[in-house]
């Protein structure tokens, strides 16, 4: 097949996937935050341990979690990261989301997660188990609001560390979200956000990772639904954090498009994505530091 024909084929197939994602949202709402089935407990545990390891890898080298207050934005189906932060000595964990996907999580799950996590002191692990078993604990908070009003949903808390995974690419307005999270960041607060830049729908994601970037904005937005990937690129995220006064703002790529798919993935992209240097980046982490000395 010629490259031009393949591009046309992927554009047509991609339109089908955009329509499918839109219809799924209409029928079921926002229901599947990650690819692991909620019933697959072992799979969920492996996923969380993997996300937690990635978040830690991108945290500043000297950052000590002991006694820190942590905010996770958009945790999706589980507050498991929170239990792990507590086991590492964090004072508290609070999670904020637009969809109530973790509200009915079985506390027994947290105990199973901790069984698989060998780190943290015995005292911190015991404390984490006790806090996670008590659904009303303020040190293990969860607040949901369709307006995603972060300062209101923080309920008076401020934070030393703000994290998220596969969340920022879903935000309607990233500049607004960054301005809002800045209001609850303490001086010296660290921010670590893992961002998935590629196409989300399953089959097409593997075969044409840049598929969402093939369509002009009006056509892409025709299939808009709450949480549709916003198609922002690393430089947009760096700009949003820098504009709010964060320092050491970096986007560190994790994975890039497989060399065998590179040429076809860069061909036939819409303006403004065509020709951009970073279009081979699939995901990565945005890290930043709020100015001022940590308390």
Ligand X SMILES: C[S@@+](CC[C@H](N)C(=O)[O-])C[C@H]1O[C@@H](n2cnc3c(N)ncnc32)[C@H](O)[C@@H]1O
- Which residues are at the interface with ligand X (CB under 6 A)? 30, 33-34, 51, 74-76, 97-99, 101, 148, 165-167, 170-172, 226-227
Indicate the residue among 29 and 187 with the shorter CB distance to ligand X.
29
CB of 12 to ligand X, least distance (A): 26
CB of 230 to ligand X, least distance (A): 8
Radius of gyration of the chain from its Cα atoms, rounded to whole angstroms: 20
Indicate the residue among 31 and 130 with the shorter CB distance to ligand X.
31
Indicate the residue among 122 and 147 with the shorter CB distance to ligand X.
147
Residues 6+ apart with CB under 8 A from 81: 48, 51, 52, 55, 72, 75, 93, 163, 165
Distance of alpha carbon 58 from the chain centroid: 13
Indicate the residue among 171 and 213 with the shorter CB distance to ligand X.
171
CB of 34 to ligand X, least distance (A): 4
Indicate the residue among 33 and 141 with the shorter CB distance to ligand X.
33
The two tokens of residue 234 are: 């690393």
* Distance in angstroms (rounded) separating the CA atoms of residues 176 and 33: 22
Strand partners, 254: none
CB of 178 to ligand X, least distance (A): 12
Indicate the residue among 155 and 172 with the shorter CB distance to ligand X.
172
Count CB atoms within 10 A of the CB of residue 274: 13
Give me the residue whose beta carbon is nearest to ligand X.
76
CB of 274 to ligand X, least distance (A): 26
* Distance in angstroms (rounded) separating the CA atoms of residues 47 and 177: 25
* Distance in angstroms (rounded) separating the CA atoms of residues 136 and 258: 46
Backbone torsions φ then ψ of 179, nearest 5 degrees: -60, -40
Provide the strand spans (E) within 207-280: 247-256
- Residues comprising the chain, all counted: 295
CB of 264 to ligand X, least distance (A): 26
CB of 260 to ligand X, least distance (A): 27
The two tokens of residue 85 are: 């932060």
Residues 6+ apart with CB under 8 A from 117: 49, 84, 87
Indicate the residue among 34 and 256 with the shorter CB distance to ligand X.
34
* Distance in angstroms (rounded) separating the CA atoms of residues 258 and 4: 20
């Amino acid at each position: 097949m010629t490259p031009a024909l393949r591009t046309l084929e992927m554009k047509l197939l991609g339109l089908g996937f955009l329509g499918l994602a839109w219809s799924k949202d209409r029928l079921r709402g926002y229901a599947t935050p990650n690819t692991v089935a909620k019933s697959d407990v072992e799979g969920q545990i492996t996923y969380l341990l993997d996300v937690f390891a990635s978040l830690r890898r991108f945290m500043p080298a000297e950052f000590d979690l002991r006694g820190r207050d942590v905010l996770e934005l958009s945790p999706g189906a589980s507050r498991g990261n929170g239990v792990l932060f507590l086991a590492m000595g964090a004072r508290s964990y609070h999670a904020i989301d637009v969809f109530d996907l973790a509200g009915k999580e079985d506390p027994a799950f947290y105990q199973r997660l901790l069984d698989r996590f060998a780190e943290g002191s015995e005292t911190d692990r015991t404390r984490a188990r006790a806090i996670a078993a008590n659904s009303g604990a303020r040190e293990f908070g969860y607040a949901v609001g369709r307006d995603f009003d972060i300062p209101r949903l923080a309920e008076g808390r401020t934070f030393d560390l703000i994290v998220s995974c596969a969340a920022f690419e879903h935000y309607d307005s990233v500049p607004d979200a960054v301005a809002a999270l800045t209001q609850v960041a303490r001086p010296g607060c660290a921010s670590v956000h893992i961002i998935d830049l590629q196409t989300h729908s399953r089959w097409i994601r593997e075969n044409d990772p840049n598929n969402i970037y093939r369509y002009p904005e009006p056509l892409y937005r025709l299939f808009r639904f709450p949480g549709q990937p916003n198609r922002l690129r690393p430089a947009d995220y760096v700009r949003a954090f820098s504009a709010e006064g964060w320092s050491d703002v970096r986007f560190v790529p994790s994975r890039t498009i497989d060399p065998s798919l590179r040429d076809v993935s860069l061909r036939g992209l819409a303006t403004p994505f065509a020709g951009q240097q970073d279009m081979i980046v699939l995901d990565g982490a945005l890290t930043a530091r709020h100015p001022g000395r940590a308390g």
